[in-house]
Structure 1
Amino acid sequence: MRASWSGGSALVARVPALLALGAVVCAAAPAAEARRAPRATRALCVDHVTVRDAPYGYAIGHLYRPQRLAVLGRPVDRWVLIRAREGLMGWIPNGALCPAQARRR
Structure 2
Amino acid sequence: MTGEALLAEWLGDLIFQSFEPPEPGTAFAQSNDDDPGQIIRRHDVVFKGGKVDDANICIRSLGPDYMTCTAVRTPERKEDALGWVLGPFQFLTVNDIVTHGEATSA
* TM-score relative to the length of structure 1: 0.29
Higher helix share: 1
* TM-score relative to the length of structure 2: 0.29
Task: Say which one has the larger Rg.
Answer: 1
